[in-house]
């Protein structure tokens, strides 16, 4: 409803001849897209949070405009829905998590990744720091909240097994994704499964309490995280545009992690319903190590081994059928190692 009302308000401002100051203003903060730019829609995996700051920074700095792209960013409602929107041509590009992308492709959706940026998965078990958990084994006898249907929930038994535990050692409490933060803060569970770089700073801001986490990736189970998704049709018919979008996005991320405060300010200027600026900065700084730039060389550059590992984990532990090779899911030809 809030998004609907926001859209109505934006339309009214446009009719009045005064564009609102956001991503719908038809260009960037410092550099307007050229008149002949291609309008490109890009749907996030969720409502805006710090991980998304690089995209707004790229608009403001003119990185997308330099590629002839007039970028329109839309909020998402989960990676699965974003992937579906890309497959149904409701948006040109999507930002989505890799495990649901694998499931979508094996179910027949004509989409592919053109580069995962969070190469160290952000999946984690989060908890208030006063719990003092130091390893997955410390969760024995505890209540952990999870959302049925997501990759963390599906692979949690494998995480336990990788740490010498049985599913019966932990009580998993089923809960809606939107309620997990509140239920953790209220003490209804000891921990939750979630993306630590998004939810951790949010919980701290709401409760005034410190939050800690145990990464799946540091506990024997790494899954590729979020990246760019495009339809097979767009990939084949607009190859040059895909390359331009990936290139601008790589540059946006590379510059944003160097200047997280500036990127957060750009997001405050251009996004709607975003968290407070200080939360955005924390979220983006926590996301930066997940890019693994030391080994990748540039944001969004993946290897076949990374994809093979994620596919194998999903096939062995999350019911991925007819898994196939990385090329079934990923086209890495657009994300260049020098980011240019």
pLDDT in tens, 40-76: 999 999 999 999 999 999 999 999 999 999 999 999 9
For residue 318, what are the domain limits? 28-120+224-328
Domain boundary among 184, 219, 254: 219
Q: 228 and 114 share a domain?
A: yes
Could you tell me whether strands 143-146 and 171-174 are parallel, antiparallel, or unpaired per DSSP bridges?
parallel
More confident residue, 250 or 21: 250
> Does 6 score more than 70 pLDDT?
no
Averaged pLDDT, 157-165: 93
Examine the pLDDT at 17 and tell me if it is beyond 70: no
Q: Which pLDDT band, with edges at 50, 70 and 90, does 177 fall under? A: confident
- In the chain, the percentage of residues whose pLDDT exceeds 90 is 81
Domain count for the chain: 2
- What is the rounded average pLDDT of the residues 129-149? 96
Q: Are the C-beta atoms of 165 and 171 separated by less than 8 Å?
A: no
84-88, 158-162, 167-171, 258-262, range with the lowest pLDDT: 158-162
Residue 8 lies in a domain: no
Secondary structure E strands in the chain: 38-43, 69-74, 93-97, 111-116, 123-128, 143-146, 171-174, 191-195, 211-215, 226-231
175 plus 294 within the same structural domain:
no
Using CA of residue 258, residue 263, residue 264, residue 265, what is the dihedral sign?
positive
pTM here? Answer: 0.87
* Domain annotation covers residue 35: yes
The average confidence (pLDDT) of the chain is 90
Residue ending a domain, among 219, 235, 260, is 219
pLDDT-based confidence at 31, cuts 50/70/90? low
Q: Are residues 229 and 317 in the same domain?
A: yes
Which has more pLDDT, 116 or 13?
116
Question: In this structure, are 254 and 301 located in the same domain?
Answer: yes
pLDDT digits (tens, 9 = 90+) for 178-220: 888 899 989 999 999 999 999 999 999 989 999 999 999 999 8
Burial class (CB in 10 A: 0-12, 13-18, 19+), 321: exposed
Q: 196-207 and 277-287 are packed helices; what angle lies between their axes, rounded to 10 degrees?
A: 150
Query: What is the C-alpha to C-alpha distance for residues 337 and 254, in angstroms, rounded to an integer?
Result: 12
């Amino acid at each position: 409803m809030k998004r609907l009302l926001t859209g109505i308000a934006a339309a009214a401002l446009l009719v009045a001849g005064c564009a609102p100051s956001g991503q719908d203003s038809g260009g960037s903060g410092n550099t307007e897209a050229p008149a002949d730019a291609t309008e490109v829609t890009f749907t996030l995996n969720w409502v805006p949070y710090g991980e998304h700051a690089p995209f707004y920074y790229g608009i403001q700095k003119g990185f997308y405009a330099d590629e002839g792209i007039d970028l329109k960013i839309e909020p998402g409602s989960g990676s699965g829905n974003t992937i579906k929107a890309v497959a149904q041509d409701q948006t040109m590009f999507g930002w989505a998590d890799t495990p649901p992308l694998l499931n979508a492709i094996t179910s027949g959706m004509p989409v592919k990744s053109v580069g995962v940026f969070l190469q160290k998965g952000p999946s984690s078990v989060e908890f208030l720091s006063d719990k003092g958990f130091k390893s997955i084994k410390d969760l024995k006898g505890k209540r952990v909240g999870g959302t049925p249907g997501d990759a963390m929930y599906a692979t949690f038994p494998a995480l336990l097994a990788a740490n010498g535990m049985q599913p019966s050692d932990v009580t998993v409490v089923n809960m809606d994704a939107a309620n997990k933060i509140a239920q953790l803060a209220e003490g209804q569970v000891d921990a939750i499964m979630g993306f630590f770089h998004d939810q951790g700073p949010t919980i701290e801001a709401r409760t005034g309490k410190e939050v800690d986490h145990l990464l799946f990736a540091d506990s024997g189970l790494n899954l590729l995280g979020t990246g760019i998704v495009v339809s097979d049709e767009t990939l084949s018919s607009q190859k040059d545009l895909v390359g331009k979008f990936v290139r601008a996005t790589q540059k946006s991320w590379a510059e944003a992690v160097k200047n997280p405060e500036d990127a957060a300010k750009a997001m405050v200027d251009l996004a709607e319903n975003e968290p407070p600026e200080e939360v955005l900065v924390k979220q983006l700084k926590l996301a930066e190590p997940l890019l693994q730039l030391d080994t990748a060389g540039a944001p969004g550059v993946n290897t076949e081994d990374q994809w093979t590992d994620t596919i194998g984990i999903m096939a062995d532990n999350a019911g991925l059928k007819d898994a196939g090779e990385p090329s079934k899911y990923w086209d890495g030809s657009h994300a260049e190692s020098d980011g240019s």
